[in-house]
Amino acid sequence: MIIPKKDKLSADELKQVEKIASDSECTILEIQGQNRCVYAILGDETQEVMFKRIAGLSFIRKVDRIESSYKLMDRRSALADHLVKIGNVEVGKDVPFIIGGPCTIDPANPNLFIETAHALKEVGVQGLRGGVWKPRTNPYSYQGDNKSLDIILQAREETGLPIDIEVMDLEQLKLALEAKVDILQVGTRNALNYSLLKEIGRLSAGTESAVLLKRGRHVASPNEFIAAAEYIVAEGNPNVMLCPRGTTPALDGYRNQPDESISPLLKSKTWAPVVVDPSHSVGHAEYVMACSLASIAYGADGLCIESHIDPSKGIGDDPKQAVRPEKMKEIIEGCGAIWKQRYRP
Ligand code: PEP
Ligand code: MN
């Protein structure tokens, strides 16, 4: 990774760097962080001569050769001071970043979503989630509807809150980017779908859309999870948040094995914000508050929580695991109260 002396290389300086890289059959990718640009070398970057020539340029501060499968996500990288910004909020800076909303938007009852959105704004939620297209274990269950995209866009318009939706393929990704969706969610099933991660990184590079990467049930180590996020950053979008959401079930009674305790490991290895999803982790509305508080204590920067004004009328996971807006208020207050004691690397 190349770090210039100034915040960004001029067009002429970039040309000089690109010329040296191309002499060694490499290319340069510009990655725009919040405060500075860094430049990744793509290709066979083991070449000593190329490194020396680039490092010797007067406008280069250093060429960083972190040998890691996540050199951009690494806490030691030049992106370490990068803050992910969603709308006007810098994630994890002053208060927990809380996203709330139903698992699944019901296109037949748009008002349920719109009213939920207003109620959640009222209690202090900073982002709205809602499933437009759904990954369902049962192929005969409801799979989603393009109409729901219009519903969540209307909710953003009315509340001013940024929105989070899951995208599972290129077509959905393009529709979401066209609609300037604020947070592109990658679900647990696609957490290691490297081709999709690359497309997301490539097509969202330079846009305002951030990515919420969920930890796949099958993603074993923190390193594997962080390396998956690296795929997105290495294609040009550094606005990535890591989302533990429960792993392979082991405790009878919870939907998944709660994994909020991974947060300190993630926080000490990378600079990326951690936004835990307690809803899919424990899978029952009753336990969501406990898991939320634990997540913040373990160092999470935020939470993504399923919430609905009337969970019994919801579709998808809502009847089981969505909390009502009144409960969200308690969760937000409780998390705010322990925010200062949370784990920090
Ligand atoms: C969801 O957020 O509703 C969802 C399907 O999440 P996950 O990918 O974690 O199962
Ligand atoms: Mn869900």
Q: Quickly list DSSP for 93-105.
A: SSS-EEEEE-SB-
Q: Does the beta carbon of 129 lie inside 6 Å of ligand 1?
A: no
Q: What is the DSSP letter of 323?
A: B
Helix locations, 246-309, DSSP H: 263-269, 278-282, 285-297
For ligand 1, atom 6, name the residue with the nearest CA: 187
Summarised one tens digit per residue, pLDDT across range 145-170 is 999 999 999 999 999 999 999 999 99
User: What gap in Å lies between CA 103 and CA 124, rounded to an integer?
Assistant: 19
Give me the mean pLDDT over the 178-193 stretch: 97
Q: What is the pLDDT of residue 76?
A: 85
Atom number of ligand 1 nearest to Cα 243: 9
Helix (H, G, I), strand (E, B) or coil at 54: helix
Give the mean model confidence (pLDDT) for residues 248-254.
Answer: 88
CA dist., res. 162 & res. 159, Å (int): 9
Beta bridge partners of 175: none
What is residue 251's predicted lDDT score, i.e. its pLDDT? Answer: 85
CA-based nearest residue to 307, from 327, 330, 281: 327
> Is 245 near ligand 1, meaning CB less than 6 Å away?
yes
- Classify strands 37-42 and 27-32 as parallel, antiparallel or unpaired: antiparallel
pLDDT digits (tens, 9 = 90+) for 89-106: 999 999 999 999 999 999
Q: For ligand 1, is residue 103 a contact (CB within 6 Å)?
A: yes
When mean pLDDT is compared across 42-46, 155-159, 295-299, the lowest value belongs to 42-46
pLDDT over 70 at 56, yes or no = yes
Amino acid at 320: K
Per-domain residue ranges of the chain: 2-63, 85-341
- Tens of pLDDT, residue by residue over 312-328, are 999 999 999 999 999 99
Query: 255: Cβ below 6 Å to ligand 1?
Result: no
Round the average pLDDT of the chain to a whole number and report it. 95
CATH topology of domain 85-341: TIM Barrel (3.20.20)
Pairing of strands 60-63, 127-129: unpaired
The residue whose CB lies within 8 Å of the most ligand 1 atoms, and thus the one to mutate among 163, 166, 242, is: 166
The tens digit of pLDDT for each residue in 114-153 reads: 999 999 999 999 999 999 999 999 999 999 999 999 999 9
Angle, helix 110-123 to helix 147-159, in steps of 10 degrees: 30
Q: Tell me the CA–centroid distance for residue 254 and ligand 2, in Å.
A: 14
Q: 288 CB under 6 A from ligand 1?
A: no
The two structure tokens encoding residue 330: 């308690």
CB count in 10 Å sphere of residue 320: 16
For ion ligand 2, residues whose CB falls within 5 Å: 103, 317
Nearest atom, ligand 1, residue 316 CA: 3
